[in-house]
Every structure is written in C-alpha cells, then in structure tokens.
Structure 1
Amino acid sequence: MKKIMRKAYLLPLLTIFCTVHLFSQQIVLRKGEIIENLPVNDTTQNTYSLYLPKDFTKDKKWPLLLLADMEGNDKKVISMFLNAAEEEGYVLAAPKLYDSISLTNKMVLIGNTIQRVGDMLPIHTDRIYTGGEDSSGRFATLAPVLLNGVNGSLAIGASLANSELINVKKPFHFVGIISKENYNYPYMLTDSKLLDRLKFPNQVLIYDGNGEWPSTAYIRKGLQLFTLDAMGRKWIPKDTMYVENAYNEDLEKVNQLIGIGDFLWAEQYMTEMMSMYGALKNTDSLRSVQRDLRRDKEYRVMQRAENAAFLQESILKEDYQYYMEDDMYTHNFNNLGWWNYQMGEIGKFIASAKPFERQMGHRLRGYVNALAEDSITLVLAEEVVDEDALAFLYMLKTILDPEDTEYYFKIISLSAKNDDFGTSLFYLEELLKKGYKDREKIYSLEDTALLRITPEFNEVVSKYLEDARYDIKIEDN
C-alpha cells in the first residue's frame, strides 16, 4: 500500500473545503454531520460516508476508525459509532460494502478509502483502526492482518475472522465488545488468550444484555483503549488528566461489580485494566486487589460453575453441528421432533435461576440459529441447489426461531413450487396462528400462484384474517 499523503483546507465554523479535484468538483465537508456518497477515486463508482467531529481542526492529526457494514449501510454504521467518536475525537469513515463483493475487492476498497481519507485530512498514520459488528466486525479484524498501516480493530459481538492468518511480526491491537449471552463470547475469550500468548495488545469488554447493541459508553471505552495505547507507545503525548479520569472510571466499574457480587466480571475487568494502564501508571495496588479476589471462596465457586457451563456448552455444540449436517444431507425430516425437544431444553437453560446456565442457554440458541443460517447459505451457493436440504433447513428455522416470519414464507413458497401444497398450508396456518396479519404479503408470495386460488388456501386465510381474497366455489355438473 502506498504511503498515505495528507492535505486539508479548513474554514471557520462548520465547513471544511477540501480542494481535492474529484470528477472536476469541489467537495464540501461539514463537521458534525455524516457526509454521504463521497467518491473513493476518480475511476470507479465506489463511495464512502465520512464523519468529522464538531471540534475538527487541521492543526492536529486525528485518529481514523474505518467502519465496515456488509449490507451497504455505511451511513447507518457511522451513526451507531458517532456519539462515541465525538466524545473521543475520532474521524469515522465507511465505504459502501456488500457481502456479495469478493474478499479481495472488499479489502482493496477498505485500503482505497483509507488512502482517500488520508489524502484529504490530517490523519495520524499510526492511529488507523477498523471496526464493525457481528459478521462485519469479523471482516474488520482482517484489515490489520492484510493491510499495511492499520494498527487495530474494534469488533462488537464478533471474534477474529481467521487466527491462522495472524503474523507475529505484524502485531495489532484488538478490542472486543461482547455480551456473555452472545454465542461468540467463548470464541472471543479463546482469541484473547491466543493474542496474549503472541503478546498482541488486546482487551475484551463485557456488557449486560442479550446481544443487542451495547451502550455508547462501551464503544467510547473501546476507542479510549486505542487512545491509551497510543499514549503508552508515545505516538501521542501522555495526557495525565485523561489517563487519571479513565482509570478512576474503570476503578469505579470494578467496585460496582464487586459490590453486586459479580466477582468473575470484576476480576476479568481488572486484568484488562492492567493491560490498559501498565505503560502509563503503577497498577500494583490493583494487582493486589485482584490477587485477593482470586483467593476468595465465592470467586472460586463462580469460576467452577462458569467452567462447567463452558464444558457442557462445548459438548452440546458438537452434537448440534453433527446432527444438523447429517439431517441436512440425509433430508431427515423425521428428526425435526428431536430439534423441537432440544429447543425446549435450551429454553429450560434460559429460564434457569443459575446465571451461568442462563447465559449458556442464550448462547446455545444463538449458536444453533447461526449454524442453520450458515448451512442455508452453503446450500444456496451450490451450483445445483439441493431443495430437499433447503426445505429441511427452512423448517428447522421455524423451530429454532419461531418468531422469525421470513422462514415460514420461504418454506411456503418452496413447497408450493414443488406442488407440496399440504406442507405449504401447514406452515401458512402456523404463521397465521402467531397473529400474522399482512394479507397482501401472503397473497404475493413467490411461486404460490396456483396455491393461492385453491379453496384450502383461502379457507385458512379466512379462518384467521376473516376475509380471503378469493371466494372459491365448486359446483357439481
């Protein structure tokens, strides 16, 4: 990758005019706003979105967080990081990416976007990071491995994309933000241990919840970790007040966790704190508190309980993977009852009074759903699609996630396409039993033209939605 050149021209108040001649046009960049559809270069139609903090000035170098979203929602992903970036002083950029683009082309687009932003703005070349959530976050972790000049990655709810690609001669800073109920949680812990062995800087920030988006405070903390690391490496001057404020914030968090009796989380957070502040201040007192906590009887009981849950979870995941693959390839529709039973067992874990079982239950539910969705993707990618395998997986998804209407539609359409009207009607009724009301959607499903005019179809619709579109009458000759 070519060395990033930086140039910017600043006017007062909210407007920056960058005299970079793209398509013979002058581009106007406004601070505090998301600017969309900026061209990546002169020769392609690739675009990106950009956000400059309200206090942006050309008089200093800024860190850049390059965000990825595989669904092309560049503006949306920036908006989700915007408040944290504003507080911590980061420039945000996000190219318009799609999952259908090859990995090589996606990575080239990431590199070109970094190059473009660096050409326009005073970006600190040692402080370029990537970030994203879920599958986009996994992809983002590849950039420090594959691109020169990217020094870290922030992944929300996602582990490393491919640990085998890591080059020990090219270390990077990894920050993971995850809920204990996210099925990627054990994988992230494993990745963190690997990075520790390789002596790569890394931290895992845990938040409460069922895998939904973390609060701005956690994303801000993730960016703060990059800033503290930059101070420790002397890429930027040490700001003693900034360090002390951050440290006191984290110390308060540890005290809160100890106060509510969450000793495992408190111990883990202290470990992360020592890696955060080790190069910036003395942490001996914190190390002493951690050592005493590890000797606490209640801490050890919790540790054994969590390890037992991890072991049980690992065994169950192996079973789920084996049976899903086998059922898919053998078209074992008879085993759907077994899967229904397994979901009942997972439901018991989720309802458990024991926190580690409850967390495990949420992770297992996320895991089997992700496994089924990955299997569907693999089947659809085949040159000749195995429609029986696809039908099994669609039916399975209605068991694994009964509230997701998408897979009811898919199995209704696929069965109707293959003239299996009985199966279509069964899943139509199951869908309507759940209170689904969109009559227009039901009457516009792909491959259901013949099914929709049958008396049986319209009787089912009338039963739950009162009025069917067609009133079918059959008269004797």
Structure 2
Amino acid sequence: MKIPHIGYLLLLIVLLGNTTLFSQMKPGKGLVLGEVVDTIYCTAHAGQSYALYLPKSYTPQKQWPIMYIFDPGANGAYPVRRFQKAAEAYGYILIGSNNSENGSWKNSFAAANAMFDDTWSRFSIDTGRVYTSGFSGGARVATAVAMNSGRIAGVIACGAGFPTVADYQPHADLDFAFVGIVGNLDMNFLELNQVYDKLVDWKLPAQLIEFDGRHGWPHPDTVMMAFDFLEIQAVKTGLVVADAGQVAEIRQRANVIADTYLEDGRPLDAAIFLQRMVYAWEGIADVSAEKKRRAGLLKEKKTEKMAKSRRRALVKEADLQQAYSEQFLVDFRYPDDTASTEFWKDQGEMLAKMKRSKDIERGRMANRLINQLWVRCYELGGRAQREGKHRDAARLYRTWSLVQPAAIYPFIRAAVAYLALGEKRKAIRYLERAVANGLLDPERLKISELANLKGEKKYEQLCDKLESRQKN
C-alpha cells in the first residue's frame, strides 16, 4: 500500500511558511465563538467541509494553536465536541474533517489539504503550534500528515498509532510530540504500548494515556490529559512561556489521577502512570517526589505480582496476534473449512475462558484479542463482499461466529454471504443461530440482502416467530 503525499506536503509547507498573513484574517460572518459548528464548507474545495470550534476569547489580533482532527467515519463534530473542553482551557481552534474516513488515503489527504487551505485563509493561526489528532484509522491519518509535513508540533493518536507501512513507521528522527490514548480493552493496546516504548528509548517527547474501556474516542477528561502533555512540551521547547500557576495545576491534576488508581486498589496502574508522568515532566519540574512514590509502589508485593502478570499477558498477546495473522493467511491460501473451523473454535473457547480469568491482565488481554479478531473479520468480510468474493466473506464471518459464538451479527453476515453463494440451507442455519442467540427484531431478517430467502419455509417460520415475540 502506498500513501500519497507530495501535493499535500507542498501545500502544507507553503502555508506554514507564511508567517505574516494569518494574523490579519477574520473569522468571517456567521461564525460563533465558544460553540461547535457542525459544518463549515471549504470555499475553494467543493464537497469538502469540517466541524469548527473557536475559543470564546478568539480574536484575529492574536495567533492561536490549531488542531486538525480525523474521525474514521467522517463525523467531524463528534470528536470536536470531545475535545471542546480542553480546547477552551488552552485556547485551541479545533477543526474536524467531515470527509476523511477509513478506506482511502488519497481522500483523507485531499480532506486534510482542503481543511488547511480553507482554515488558513479564515483564521489567525500560530504557525509553530499546528497539531493533528484522530481515532483508529483517523489516528493513522494524523500521524501520516505529521510525518509528511515535518511542520506539525504534536499528534494525539487515539486507538491506533502509525500507518502500517514501512515508510511510515516511527523512527528516531521524529520531529513532533506524540500522545497515544488507548483503552485497556482496545485491540490496539499492545501496538500503542510498543510505539510508546520505542519513542522513549529514542528519548523523544511522548506520552501514553490508558483508560478503562474499548476501542473508541476518549472521554473529554482523558483528552484534557493529552492537552496537558502538549502544553508541557510547548513550554519545554519554548513555544509558550511557562505559567507557574498553570504548570502547578497540571501537575496537581496528574497526581490526583495517580491517587485515584491507588484508591481503586490499582497500584500497578498508578506506578505506570507516575513513570510516564516523570518522563514527560523531567526538565521542567522537580519530579523526585513522583520518582520516590513510584519506586515505593513497585516494591510492594501486590504491585510486583501485577507487573509480572502484565508482562506475561503482553508477551502472550504478541504471540497470539502473530499466530492469528498466520492463520488468516493459511485460510485464504489453502482453504480447508474443517481445519479452519477446528482452529478458530478452539481459539474462541480458549479466549472465552481467559476472559473470565481472575487474573485482570489475562482477562484484558483476551478481550483485546477477541475485539481484534471480530474487527478484522468484519472489515475484511465487508471488503470481500463489496468485491464479490462471497466465499472469502463467508469464511471470515464464519471465523467471527466461532470467536464470538454468543453474538448475533456475525451469524447474520454469514447468512448473507452464504446466500450470495446460493447456499440457502446454510444461510438459514446461520439465521437460526442468530435467533437462538437473542435476535428479537424481525426486520433484521428482512434486509434486502436476504430477499432471496422469501418463500423458504424455515425462513418464513423464523420471521413469524420473531414477529409473534414482538407482539407479545
């Protein structure tokens, strides 16, 4: 996969190189301050638009930091609202693309191009404080934009790291600050931990913020922690003048988070948080107290046990990810439904057992692997169907049903794929499993993709059964 960049790079350099134009720009008629505007159309780029947030104190007489945000589903307003609290606190302009989405690097870079072009003609922007952010595939766009331009001050990557191509992997010469945010049940948890560890080894400005949750945009309070880090980095690099009161407030906020972990009986999470805090703050404040506190926590037997469990889980997770990737290749190159079914059935049962483990880290690991598998099956299966490769789609959805045998959706998708292959009996068997697993809405059996089952006795009986349940 090749990621286009030359045209985008040239525009961005031109824009960032002009340091005299932007302070004269006015926000334009109809733009409000302190509120999210869902749609602003790009004047020179038909069909391109973005969501906007201007701080309440915005004025064109001052230059402002700006953050461009990429949502994987092209819903710019959603992340802008998540970032609004932090943006108001620190005085950022927020721009969320309504066009960039998973699936096309060319389209995502065209969206970025349009946003840069339009916003730099409307607003007064601090050329030294341009940031990008994104979630999932949008996070990969955000890091790719930063690597292409060489003029981005920092990236907040939520739920994913860098593009999965060799030319866009992190390296020791990165010239922007990196903040990763990831849920402890997120399928990309291991990836972001590995990225963070590399950046720290290279002594680059980096932070990794973990939260309790799955693959999703982080809570506004978590976003605030990322902005805190970017502010500290801006102070370190001289982009902003240190405000002693603000620095003390950020530090206090961080220590409260460590306290909360301890109050919840999570000394390892507290120790990890303090370790990352120390790395971020060294050079700007005396962090000896945090170092001492972390060292004390790591000496506790409970913390030692948790740390060993986490290390084992992450190693096991990496091994299983590799094994699963290899099995997917085998499934496609040498299709053997019997062998594949046995493998994924065994893995599904093993992961379900791990998920119930009393070992917290082992349970989290199992959740992450299950999430990674179903997302891979969902995405690859959908792509296969769009390309008319229904046998591949059926195989992927069957794998998903074996990994999550109590779910509903994989059985519906498998039924659709098998029906496209003309295998009506198998399609109906999968629909029966969906109903047995708790499907209640009869309309989900009447989607257009299942229209060819009309008149089939067992299919009609399933529909009647759900309609009867709904009436009662």
Aligned partner of 1:264 in structure 2 is 268
- From the CA coordinates, give the structure whose radius of gyration is larger: 1
Task: After superposition, give the CA deviation of every residue in 1:130-173 in whole Å (9 maximum; x if it has no partner).
Answer: 11212212221211101242221111221222474346444111
Give the SS at the match of 2:449: coil
Matched residues, percent identical?
19
Deviation at 1:465, TM superposition (A): 3.0
C-alpha separation in 2, matches of 1:404 and 1:80: 30
C-alpha separation in 1, matches of 2:87 and 2:163: 24
Q: Does 1:3 align with 2:15?
A: yes
In 2, are the aligned partners of 1:137 and 1:155 still within 8 Å (CA)? yes
Aligned partner of 1:24 in structure 2 is none
Q: Within 5 Å, which residues of 2 pair with 1:179-218?
A: 179-218=183-222
The alpha-carbon distance between structure 1 residues 403 and 58, as it changes in their structure 2 partners (threshold 3 A), is farther
Report the more deviating stretch, 102-111 or 417-426. Answer: 102-111
Which residue of 393, 398, 418 corresponds with 2:396? Answer: 393
One-letter amino acid of the structure 2 residue matched with residue 368 of structure 1: L
Q: Does 1:286 align with 2:329?
A: no
Aligned partner of 1:255 in structure 2 is 259
Q: Does 1:120 align with 2:132?
A: no
Aligned partner of 1:463 in structure 2 is 465
Aligned partner of 1:23 in structure 2 is none
Task: After superposition, give the CA deviation of every residue in 1:375-401 in whole Å (9 maximum; x if it has no partner).
Answer: 33564576xx44222211122223334
Task: After superposition, give the CA deviation of every residue in 1:331-352 in whole Å (9 maximum; x if it has no partner).
Answer: 3332324423322221111111
Deviation at 1:32, TM superposition (A): 2.2
The alpha-carbon distance between structure 1 residues 401 and 133, as it changes in their structure 2 partners (threshold 3 A), is farther
Q: Within 5 Å, which residues of 2 pair with 1:64-463?
A: 64-99=66-101, 102-162=104-164, 164-165=167-168, 166=170, 168-334=172-338, 335-376=340-381, 379=384, 385-402=388-405, 405-446=408-449, 448-449=451-452, 451-463=453-465
Task: After superposition, give the CA deviation of every residue in 1:283-305 in whole Å (9 maximum; x if it has no partner).
Answer: 22322333343344443332222
Give the SS at the match of 2:71: coil
Deviation at 1:129, TM superposition (A): 0.9
The alpha-carbon distance between structure 1 residues 463 and 111, as it changes in their structure 2 partners (threshold 3 A), is closer
The alpha-carbon distance between structure 1 residues 304 and 168, as it changes in their structure 2 partners (threshold 3 A), is closer
Give the SS at the match of 2:179: strand
Task: After superposition, give the CA deviation of every residue in 1:424-450 in whole Å (9 maximum; x if it has no partner).
Answer: 11112122223333334423432633x
One-letter amino acid of the structure 2 residue matched with residue 196 of structure 1: V
Report the more deviating stretch, 165-174 or 340-349. Answer: 165-174
Deviation at 1:467, TM superposition (A): 9.4
C-alpha separation in 2, matches of 1:417 and 1:370: 22
The alpha-carbon distance between structure 1 residues 446 and 380, as it changes in their structure 2 partners (threshold 3 A), is closer
Task: After superposition, give the CA deviation of every residue in 1:72-100 in whole Å (9 maximum; x if it has no partner).
Answer: 21222322322332233221102222447
Q: How many aligned positions are there?
A: 451
Deviation at 1:452, TM superposition (A): 0.6
One-letter amino acid of the structure 1 residue matched with residue 445 of structure 2: I
In 2, are the aligned partners of 1:331 and 1:389 still within 8 Å (CA)? no
Let me know the Cα RMSD of the aligned residues.
2.7
Give the SS at the match of 2:422: coil
Report the more deviating stretch, 316-325 or 435-444. Answer: 435-444
Give the SS at the match of 1:30: coil
In 2, are the aligned partners of 1:414 and 1:447 still within 8 Å (CA)? no
In 1, are the aligned partners of 2:82 and 2:223 still within 8 Å (CA)? no
Deviation at 1:228, TM superposition (A): 1.6
Aligned partner of 1:474 in structure 2 is none
Length-normalised TM-score, structure 1: 0.86
4+ aligned runs moved over 6 Å, structure 1: none
C-alpha separation in 2, matches of 1:183 and 1:78: 24
The alpha-carbon distance between structure 1 residues 437 and 81, as it changes in their structure 2 partners (threshold 3 A), is same
Task: After superposition, give the CA deviation of every residue in 1:225-276 in whole Å (9 maximum; x if it has no partner).
Answer: 1112111211111110000011112122223334444232222212222233
C-alpha separation in 1, matches of 2:438 and 2:301: 50
Report the more deviating stretch, 97-106 or 153-162. Answer: 97-106
C-alpha separation in 1, matches of 2:103 and 2:417: 27
Greater helix share, structure number: 2
C-alpha separation in 2, matches of 1:241 and 1:467: 62
In 2, are the aligned partners of 1:179 and 1:208 still within 8 Å (CA)? yes
C-alpha separation in 1, matches of 2:171 and 2:438: 53
Task: After superposition, give the CA deviation of every residue in 1:307-366 in whole Å (9 maximum; x if it has no partner).
Answer: 112222222222222223322443333232442332222111111111111111111111
C-alpha separation in 2, matches of 1:196 and 1:97: 34
In 1, are the aligned partners of 2:407 and 2:437 still within 8 Å (CA)? no
The alpha-carbon distance between structure 1 residues 119 and 433, as it changes in their structure 2 partners (threshold 3 A), is same
C-alpha separation in 1, matches of 2:404 and 2:79: 26
C-alpha separation in 2, matches of 1:126 and 1:139: 20
Structure 2 gaps of 5+ residues are: 1-12
The alpha-carbon distance between structure 1 residues 417 and 256, as it changes in their structure 2 partners (threshold 3 A), is closer
The alpha-carbon distance between structure 1 residues 115 and 462, as it changes in their structure 2 partners (threshold 3 A), is closer
Give the SS at the match of 1:466: helix
In 1, are the aligned partners of 2:48 and 2:114 still within 8 Å (CA)? no
The alpha-carbon distance between structure 1 residues 440 and 313, as it changes in their structure 2 partners (threshold 3 A), is closer
C-alpha separation in 2, matches of 1:377 and 1:137: 22
C-alpha separation in 1, matches of 2:118 and 2:307: 48
Give the SS at the match of 1:159: coil
Give the SS at the match of 2:462: helix
The alpha-carbon distance between structure 1 residues 363 and 39, as it changes in their structure 2 partners (threshold 3 A), is same
Aligned partner of 2:3 in structure 1 is none
